[in-house]
Amino acid sequence: MRLNKPSVTYIFLVFVFLSLLAFNSDSPYYFPINPGQANYLAGSMGELRGSHFHGGIDVKTGGRTGLEIYSTADGYVSRIKIQSGGYGNALYIYHPKYGTTSVYAHLESYRDDIAAYIRSHQYQKETFEIELFPGKDQFQVKRGELVAYSGNSGSSSGPHLHFEIRDSRQRPINPLDFGFSEIRDNIAPVVRYIGIRTLDHNSRVNDQFGTFEFDPYMAGGNYHISRPIEVHGKIGVMIDCYDQLNGVPNRNGVPKIKMTVDDTIVTDILINEIPFSKNRNLLVYRDHKMRVRKRRNYQKMYVEDGNTLNIFQKSIDKGILHINDTLDHKVRIDLTDAYGNTRQVNFVLRGAKPTNQFFGKTDIFEPNRYEVYENTLMFMAKRNEGNGYFAEVFANRLKYDLNTAYQVDGYAVYLWDLTIGIPDSIQVCGVTLKPGIEMMVPSETEFSYYQPHMDIQFFKTTLFDTLYLKTDYIDELESDREYFEIGDQEVPLRKNIKVKLKPKKDYPDKTRTRVYSAYNHRSFSYTGGDWQGDQITFYTRDLGAYTLLTDSVAPTIRMVANNRNNIMAYIKDELSGIKDFEVRIDGEWVLMNYDYKRNLIWSEKRNEETPFKGEMVIKVRDQVNNTKTYSTTIY
């Protein structure tokens, strides 16, 4: 008997089945998008974002939305959250077998039964933004079952799927640790810079004080620094690095970094789980000052004061190097990505006693200014023979003679230990410097500071480390604005401070006047605040400049569609921003989706069979309650 040849369709189905087995045989989890195909990442677990570690992986969708999203394992929908910012449309699935929760964020939409459940609750509560916790029997799902569609909702900067796996304590863990072969990576991490920092006023790097960068070169598959770096005292090592995956240019995080000095492991870092409560510790794990100044992503190989992250598997003396000899110390930094690709950086730190002379150039900062590093005040001024060799520091109602620490490019450099006292003024090289530091604010302590122009309250959890506080008040005549300078934007805060501003200027319409952050006195961002008489109080996690602005202009509404099937409009506010909006037809609330990135709202009917009909009223309100109303009749 002659057998029939297998059909093309049959061969294709067998190929797909075998491919799925090949791609997922090693993982307890199913890849949630385009399973069995090569996928590409725009972001990896633990990479350094603005003020947090990235909590999952960002899977590219080719610039498209609407791709099918599948449950990564058996379980049930445990949580649904919809918001205009953040994760946007997000879905959470609990997996009892593993005790984990998977998260799918920035979705465009949900499968029909889940969408209907959400929509009914949105109409019931008359709100677009909503958080729901279905019972475990409401939406049972199987591994590989369709649950949603990819999108670009929330604070997403482009279409993609943000995917997380969280442990039983809701801590994000690295999904790539579960062997998803849909992601291919045979590219070792890349190193941009090595940073070496002095950690007290007696320390030096190449006879200088501060933070210094070195460009490594590639040879033999690894990185090297061409010549020994002379150091003395307490030294911190930092590295600016990233990882890349096959087929995409994105710069992702490196989860494993280990530093060895003279064959001893000094620091061993593993970024594979980050509790949300400790996410802001990124601001002291990454060097915040170099981030603000040069957009560097330096990761510290030492534990900064205030850093409570548990990513340090090992850190001898907190990873701080104490080099007081004149020997060569071999340093090796090993970087390993989630797929085991490795790269090394090799260099030598040479112990060298300070000479107090450095005949080169420095780019630390401009002359006749000051800089605070940890507990050290650094300042410099032009030297000549008639200036003398000492700076006179006036602190604690006493005068201190301070010798030069070293000379560089014709300038004398001085280092003052701030633990001795806060200088009121400094006479140096014929110039009077007024650092303007008003107060040392201790960390982990409640502290209140009162000034004629503002009061500042620090809470126990506000600071990572001791803060040397400087404030200022500026009456800018050209713009007729007053600015309240609070500290240095290069210093990060862990939690909020409470600030009460005491304006000098008159604000006739206080109901529409609020506090705005003022970057460079040009770029304004709404902060808020509450008036009590002629003073306004607000909370913030950012030091820097603030001002008061009055927003008397209502938002704008530009209709795109208003018919029986669809309502769509652009809504926008130029200053304080959109607070809320509402659409009603003959008094009945209409669900409107909102994408703040496009300033767009669009309708979603309770019942697709029922047309919109009657008097439609759209109300849009900004943060200070200016309201714009648009009305028409839909026939």
Question: Residue 504 and residue 606: Cα distance in Å, rounded?
Answer: 52
- Listed residue (241, 239, 232, 229) closest to 199, CA to CA: 232
Per-residue model confidence as pLDDT tens digits over 344-355: 999 999 999 988
Per-residue confidence band for 12, with pLDDT thresholds at 50, 70 and 90 = very low
Average pLDDT on 571-596 reads: 97
pLDDT > 70? residue 317: yes
Do domains 357-437 and 556-634 share one topology? The answer is yes
CA atoms within 13 A on the CB side of 236: 22
Per-residue model confidence as pLDDT tens digits over 420-467: 999 999 998 778 889 999 999 999 999 999 999 999 999 999 999 999
Question: Residue 252 and residue 190: Cα distance in Å, rounded?
Answer: 10
- Listed residue (233, 151, 236, 554) closest to 415, CA to CA: 233
Q: Which residues pair with 393 in a beta bridge?
A: 400, 426
| Long-range residue pairs from 181-184, CB within 8 A, at least 24 positions apart, any chain | 181/22, 181/23, 181/24, 181/26, 181/27, 182/23, 182/31, 182/34, 182/35, 182/36, 182/37, 182/38, 182/39, 183/39, 183/40, 183/41, 183/57, 183/245, 183/339, 184/38, 184/245, 184/246, 184/247
Per-residue model confidence as pLDDT tens digits over 34-74: 999 999 999 999 899 989 999 999 999 999 999 999 999 99
Fold for 357-437, please state it. Immunoglobulin-like (2.60.40)
pLDDT, residue 430, reads: 77
Average the pLDDT over each of 306-320, 387-401, 473-487 and give the range with the smallest value: 387-401
Per-residue model confidence as pLDDT tens digits over 147-200: 999 999 999 999 999 999 999 999 999 999 998 999 999 999 999 999 999 999
Strands (E) in 167-227, as ranges, are 172-173, 190-198, 204-205, 211-214, 217-219, 222-224
CATH class of residue range 20-178: mainly beta
- Listed residue (91, 47, 61, 20) closest to 152, CA to CA: 61
DSSP 462-483: T-SS-EEE-EEEEEETTTTEEE
pLDDT, residue 169, reads: 92
pLDDT, residue 359, reads: 53
Per-residue model confidence as pLDDT tens digits over 527-557: 999 999 999 999 999 999 999 999 999 999 9
Question: Residue 347 and residue 331: Cα distance in Å, rounded?
Answer: 5
Average pLDDT, the chain: 92
Give, in order, the Cα–Cα distances in Å from 113 to each of 77, 90, 116, 119, 264.
Answer: 12, 15, 5, 10, 58
Q: Which residues pair with 250 in a beta bridge?
A: none
Per-residue model confidence as pLDDT tens digits over 192-244: 999 999 999 999 999 999 999 999 999 999 999 999 999 999 999 999 999 99
Q: What is the DSSP letter of 280?
A: G
Per-residue confidence band for 6, with pLDDT thresholds at 50, 70 and 90 = very low
pLDDT > 50? residue 21: no
For 151-166, what is the HEC assignment?
ECCCCCCCCEEEEEEE
Residue type, 140: Q
Fold for 440-550, please state it. Chondroitinase Ac; Chain A, domain 3 (2.60.220)
pLDDT > 80? residue 13: no
Average the pLDDT over each of 22-31, 94-103, 298-307 and give the range with the smallest value: 22-31
**Would you call 119 helix, strand, or coil by DSSP?**
helix
Average pLDDT on 104-131 reads: 97
- Listed residue (627, 624, 628) closest to 507, CA to CA: 624
pLDDT, residue 363, reads: 54
Q: Is residue 632 within 8 Å of residue 562, measured between CB atoms?
A: yes
CA atoms within 13 A on the CB side of 615: 6
CATH class of residue range 556-634: mainly beta
Domain-by-domain residue ranges, the chain? 20-178, 190-351, 357-437, 440-550, 556-634
DSSP 602-627: EEE-S-TTSPP-EEEEEEEEETT--E
pLDDT, residue 409, reads: 76
**Would you call 13 helix, strand, or coil by DSSP?**
helix
